[in-house]
Amino acid sequence: MTDTAEEMYTLVERMYPLCRSITGDGVRATLDIVGEYIPLQVHEVPTGTQVLDWTVPQEWNIRDAYIADTAGHRVVNFAASSLHVLGYSVPVSATMPLAELRAHLHTLPDHPSWVPYRTSYYKPEWGFCLAQETLDALPDGEYEVRVDSTLADGHLTYAEHVVPGQVPDEVIVSCHVCHPSLANDNLAGIAVATFLARALAQETPYYTYRFIYAPGTIGAITWLARNAERVERVKHGLVLACAGDPGQVTYKQSRRGDAEIDRVMRHVLTASERPHHVNEFTPYGYDERQYCSPGFNLGVGSLTRTPYAGYPEYHTSADNLDFVSPEAMADTLAVCREAFAVLDRNRRYLNLSPYGEPQLGRRGLYDALGGRSDTKQAQMAMLWVLNLSDGEHSLLDVAERSGLPFSAVAAAADALCGAELIKA
Amino acid sequence: MTDTAEEMYTLVERMYPLCRSITGDGVRATLDIVGEYIPLQVHEVPTGTQVLDWTVPQEWNIRDAYIADTAGHRVVNFAASSLHVLGYSVPVSATMPLAELRAHLHTLPDHPSWVPYRTSYYKPEWGFCLAQETLDALPDGEYEVRVDSTLADGHLTYAEHVVPGQVPDEVIVSCHVCHPSLANDNLAGIAVATFLARALAQETPYYTYRFIYAPGTIGAITWLARNAERVERVKHGLVLACAGDPGQVTYKQSRRGDAEIDRVMRHVLTASERPHHVNEFTPYGYDERQYCSPGFNLGVGSLTRTPYAGYPEYHTSADNLDFVSPEAMADTLAVCREAFAVLDRNRRYLNLSPYGEPQLGRRGLYDALGGRSDTKQAQMAMLWVLNLSDGEHSLLDVAERSGLPFSAVAAAADALCGAELIKA
Amino acid sequence: MTDTAEEMYTLVERMYPLCRSITGDGVRATLDIVGEYIPLQVHEVPTGTQVLDWTVPQEWNIRDAYIADTAGHRVVNFAASSLHVLGYSVPVSATMPLAELRAHLHTLPDHPSWVPYRTSYYKPEWGFCLAQETLDALPDGEYEVRVDSTLADGHLTYAEHVVPGQVPDEVIVSCHVCHPSLANDNLAGIAVATFLARALAQETPYYTYRFIYAPGTIGAITWLARNAERVERVKHGLVLACAGDPGQVTYKQSRRGDAEIDRVMRHVLTASERPHHVNEFTPYGYDERQYCSPGFNLGVGSLTRTPYAGYPEYHTSADNLDFVSPEAMADTLAVCREAFAVLDRNRRYLNLSPYGEPQLGRRGLYDALGGRSDTKQAQMAMLWVLNLSDGEHSLLDVAERSGLPFSAVAAAADALCGAELIKA
């Protein structure tokens, strides 16, 4: 196992206990931790701000929440897990019989030992989430219920990290930071994004890479609303989520289906010989929903391992630290790096000597001894790049049509550029 | 069995004995019967009228025809079946030896008990059709032959029935009415068309539906020649034939292959999980030949059960009342109704809030409780309609891409229209 | 076996002993022989002429070459096979120990009894090619080596033969004439091209057919450089090579992949029910590399039996007169003739009576007796040609969409032209 794999897992462990939601101090604390790894620009957007068709809601913070029996024993306790309280619960302090309380309790009858994850962001409501087993064991009678939360004007918090490139065109990597103690969804995604940013910073990439850490839906919508001009510069993107579970890597294509990121991901996943899935776009899932809404229609796909809602542990207490592994996160990170290596290097060239083949031999690019049939990959790559560099074909096109590794094709393009036989 | 199924079969039974041809009183009598079910506008086009590349022929009527032996016994008798006489036979009254008569006799050696259906519309000829068995049993000798027909200036007769819609754009349903006592080809088609017209009249459809009852080839050509301006309004159409045999439903695509009617029929047949066939266009068969000639190139497909010439009973006396069933006709009618329900409701919409998802929750269109993974079909349908309503995609496109039932997609479009989130 | 098959084999036999290279008297002698079969226009291009990115090299001629042991015995002898000397060897006359000589010897260790074919056109070098067995048997010691060659300013030689057509648009057939004693690569190609030219001259084809006999790479480049204006007239083409081995016919598509020659070859090979291969374009192989360079991008494919470098005997002494057969060359010739018959006849027509079907019956083009279901191929072909003659579809399109033989479709087009129902 690599150091990076372990470091990503440690980052997940550190973020796991915090109670995150679409606003509030849990998000801020999470971004503080990420900020220890990479510098973040944190944005605070006031409640009531109009963002596209939405309005930034009141900020929610919670200090404590419990259900206690008449003996004062806490039978459900927020301190034990942030999942126990319905996200965005309004404050409550009351005593009521179990029969009345039931309307506010959420369980998973099919998984009686698991606690579900539930929210009520836009309808004032209070509630608790608990194991069916716990509920079944509660005797009838009176219970004290208390949610010590505040829902008040404040801010929505999100952050950005930019790896500067050679051109202002951007690649965005977006991950949601609003889920409470769920390890795969999306602490693993946050961890992979963070170490991906670190790796990209080691070199000067071609594109500018922008990492967006924002609450789901309202956060992405807020970012889009505040970056209307920047959106024009976003050429490619990935939504990163569920990045640490044991399942196969899954790429969900952008709404376009043939965006460059779609072609790159398909190519890289196939070339890597990893077991994987490539799924069609659907307007459900994570924030690709917003980036791929028809007005924006960005070339943004989504990379997960098991996809959205595709595993029983999804949105339950079973999506815990045991459900994710350093190895799985390291593998997801590797896929991202392989894909961005291709994306970043993919370009169209123009053959400057397009009539007949240029004489490679006198430029030292071709074997002097003729007649042999075992032409080398490097020579084939040069012939392919020359033949397809008509301004219509990218290096990825050349790699796919020739069946040669992208890296060999890119090296041939470098050699031919050096000989001034092609130009970008 | 439904009442409609029985009524269609009764209609077939009533039309069966009549001797129809491309002109004459048999067609008129047939249209009189259909006119008892739905109002018909009957057109009479004079002999000699130029219709596109053709000329309306003389009108043919027949009163009697037979071959009698020397004892006066009628060994072949038109009164027993209208198939016995060659369609458009010129009059004859003669006595001749069997050897000479043979040149005018048509049989089916491979099906010795069946009588073939033959015509000679455009070359003056007389003849009889009979079972091979009957012919084999005839002793040599003299026979009296008589065809009491008239071939004279008159009219070609066809009829129309219109179900008015909300827009002047038209859907045509065309069936040929020229075949004599053949039940599947095309009395079943006439019956299904008639009850389809009745069903459409129950509601006010979007399109205007025009039903054309006309003799094959020359009738469709006559209609096209006399409706040059109307043809521009014909957006879709179906040729209905062979609608009652026991075979699977078969849709033959229009010449375009990707006309909206083609996509609708493929979608409906697949969605219905009926066993069925979808065939490529060929310039042979029924009147789709004319509607799909390159100058018109209409989006007109053809719906049959077993297709043109695809069954041994085709164009023989075995295409009789036993060969068609109420159930088969009811099924063909159901396919038509399902297809027209989709065609009639299929439209493109424009998302009026295309940047990010609109907030469905505050409009009462979305579950307030978040976190659950079992999103309902209705919500998915709304997300899909919003995502694809960019003016490029129809509701059928949405249904096909999403895999959702067309009806769910259409309902979502209604809800989103009501919320003024999309417009047609 | 046909006379033509035998004649082609005889032609191969006659050319086999000559020592060809990219320049020199061996090419001239070869063209002299071909010139006995069809008239050739021979071109001589001076050394130093700039041709596209290349320069015509010095002319190479060789009179003798050998390695002799101290007893004067020639252990390797050019007189025995032209393969024994490295193509374009500079002169040498020396005595040296075997150890020193080895650097100039080329063998095939995997095929110890075969002599390889090697060249060094653009780097001054001398060398010998011999069987590994021969080398292994040589005792250490001194050897006399002698290459009696000249490398001097002179000319590059190539030839053309034109079969005039009805239009100036051209089809080129190109074959390389630079290989020494290799039978399949490319004496068989030369022979098939020559007899193809003869066959085409028997009729007046539609296109003008130009046969190019030129050394590989530099020859094709020279032709292209000297025919800049003619290239615009080249509509289709074939590179002919490896035309006589026992393998299946292989068509390598042009760079375009959907050029008319590609469609014709695929159609003809499929229709002929020959076992065959159709390969994608690659920028390696024979002179399709030049014709399909991106600046020209001609619709030129390559026809071989076993393709370039696809057999062990390739570029070795085992590609000898036993490796090719009259039958295989006759089959390759037949494929060419079938393909050019389709290519030459393929045209788009316009239906002059596109609204509805024209009445074929009154023009004597249709059966008078109606009702029969066994419509003949000729009638179907006419209906298909009428239906698709909208200016968009070629006769090949009609044949492919209808599934009818191209010849039947072409005959239908002739009949309809005669009736003035369509025009080219």
- The pLDDT of residue C373: 53
Q: Give the residue among C302, C284, C279, C287 at the shortest CA–CA distance from A385.
A: C284
Closest CA to B384 of A284, A291, A310, A253: A284
Supply B45's token pair.
């086009």
Please tell me the predicted confidence (pLDDT) of residue C370. Answer: 67
C403 touching B, CB under 8 A? no
Residues B370 and B244 in one domain: no
User: Taking CA atoms, what residue in B is nearest to C369?
Assistant: B120
Verify whether the Cβ–Cβ distance B283 to C371 is below 8 Å: no
User: Of C344, C385, C381, C391, which is closest to residue C171 (Cα–Cα)?
Assistant: C344
Q: How far apart are CA C92 and CA C100, in angstroms?
A: 14
| pLDDT tens digit sequence for B243-263 | 999 999 999 999 999 999 999
State which amino acid sits at residue B104: H
Residue of A363, A365, A369, A377 to mutate when probing chain C, most C C-beta within 10 A: A369
A75 and A172 assigned to the same domain = no
CB B60 within 8 A of CB B21: yes
CA distances from C57 to A282, B225, C158, C177 (A): 62, 72, 14, 16
Which one of C286, C293, C306, C308 makes the best mutation probe of the A interface by having the most chain A beta carbons within 10 Å?
Answer: C293
pLDDT for residue B369:
62
**List of residues 6+ apart from B247 with CB closer than 8 A:** B305, B306, B310, B311
- Report the residue of B105, B242, B293 to disrupt the C interface, i.e. the one with the largest count of C CBs within 10 Å: B293
Report the 10 Å Cβ neighbour count for B226: 14
Q: Which domain holds residue B409?
A: 348-423
More reliable by pLDDT, C367 or B17: B17
Q: Report the side by side order of strands in the sheet with B208-214.
A: B41-46, B155-163, B208-214, B170-176, B234-240, B300-304, B249-252, B276-279
Strand partners, B64: B148
Intervals of chain A under pLDDT 70: 1, 368-375
- Among A100, A121, A152, which residue terminates a domain? A152
Q: In the prediction, which pLDDT does A2 show?
A: 77
- B163 and B147 share one domain: no
The phi, psi pair for A307, rounded to 5°, reads -75, 170
The most distant pair of C-alpha atoms in chain B lies apart, rounded to whole Å, by 94
H or E segment to which residue C379 belongs? helix C377-388
Tell me, yes or no, whether A334 and A390 share the same domain.
no
Cα angle vertex B221, ends B217, B225, to 5°? 175
The answer on C320 and C262 residing in a single domain is yes
A340 CB contacts (<8 Å, ≥6 apart)?
A: A171, A196, A200, A205, A209
CATH code of residue B109: 3.50.30.90
Nearest to B243 by CA among B182, B158, B291, B178: B182
Average pLDDT over residues C84-95: 97
- Provide the pLDDT for residue B188: 98
- Are residues B92 and B172 located together in one domain of the fold? no
Residues C196 and C290 in one domain: yes
Is residue C367 located within the same domain as residue C220?
no
- Report d(CA A75, CA A142) in Å as an integer: 12
CATH number for the domain harbouring residue A353: 1.10.10.10
- If asked whether residues C260 and C357 sit together in one domain, one would say no
Query: Is the domain of B382 the same as that of B307?
Result: no
Helix (H) or strand (E) holding B236: strand B234-240
Same-domain status, A100 and A176:
no
C-chain CB neighbours of B307 within 8 Å are: none
Q: Which residues of B touch A296 (CB under 8 A)?
A: 355-356
Residue C368 confidence (pLDDT): 62
Which one, of C277, B297, C281, B226, lies nearest residue A388 by Cα? C281
Residue B365, chain A, CB below 8 Å: the answer is no
Give the closest-approach CA distance of C400 to chain B in angstroms. Answer: 12
Give C-chain residues touching A362 at CB under 8 angstroms.
122
d(CA A195, CA A330): 10
How far apart CA A268 and CA A111 sit, in angstroms, is: 37
Beta bridge partners of C60: C151
Question: What is the ipTM, given to two decimal places?
Answer: 0.94
Secondary structure (3-state) at A40:
coil
Q: Which residue has the tokens 């990503």?
A: A8
Rg over alpha carbons for chain B, rounded to the nearest Å, is 26
Which among C345, C372, C390 is the end of a domain? C345
Question: Taking all residues of chain C, what is their mean pLDDT, rounded to a whole number?
Answer: 96
CB pairs A-B closer than 8 Å: 85
Confidence of residue B2 (pLDDT cuts 50, 70, 90): confident
In chain C, the N- to C-terminal Cα span, in Å, equals 40
A375-422 pLDDT tens trace? 689 999 999 999 999 999 999 999 999 999 999 999 999 999 999 999
A147: nearest Cα among A229, A199, A87:
A87
Are A357 and C122 an interchain contact pair (Cβ–Cβ within 8 Å)?
Answer: no
- From the CA of B335, how many Å to the nearest CA of chain A? 30
Q: Which residues contact C368 (CB under 8 A, 6 or more apart)?
A: B120, B122, B123, B125, C361
The residue type found at C81 is S
Count of other CB atoms within 10 angstroms of residue C75: 18
Contact (CB, 8 A) for B222 and B245: no
Largest pairwise CA distance in chain C: 94
CA C131, C134, C139, C143 torsion-angle sign: negative
Q: Please tell me whether residues C161 and C124 are part of one structural domain.
A: no
Residue pair B16/B321 in contact by the 8 Å Cβ criterion: yes
Task: Give the Cα separation of B299 and B398 in Å (integer).
Answer: 21
Interface of A with C in 56-115 (CB under 8 A): none
Cβ within 8 Å of residue C165, ≥6 positions away: C204, C205, C206, C207, C208, C209, C344
> Peptide bond preceding A387: is omega within 30 degrees of 0, i.e. cis?
no
**Spatial separation of the C-alpha atoms in residues C266 and C70, rounded to whole Å:** 59
Dump pLDDT digits (tens) for C245-278. 999 999 999 999 999 999 999 999 999 999 999 9
Angle between helices C326-345 and C3-15 (to 10 degrees): 110
CATH number at residue B240: 3.40.630.10
C419 and chain A in contact, CB less than 8 A: no
Q: What would the pLDDT profile of B72-97 be if each residue is shown by its tens digit? A: 999 999 999 999 999 999 999 999 99
Q: How far apart are CA C124 and CA C88, in angstroms?
A: 8
pLDDT tens-place string over residues A215-240: 999 999 999 999 999 999 999 999 99
Tokens of A225: 């609303």
* C292 contacts on A by Cβ (under 8 Å): 387
Rounded distance between C-alpha atoms, residue B353 and residue A51, angstroms? 12
C-alpha span between A324 and A332 (Å, rounded):
12
Number of domains in chain C: 3
Task: State whether residue C387 sits within 8 Å of chain B by CB.
Answer: yes
The amino acid that residue A255 corresponds to is R
Q: Which of C289, C324, C345 is the last residue of a domain?
A: C345
Determine the Cα–Cα distance for residues A41 and B22; give it in Å rounded to an integer: 83
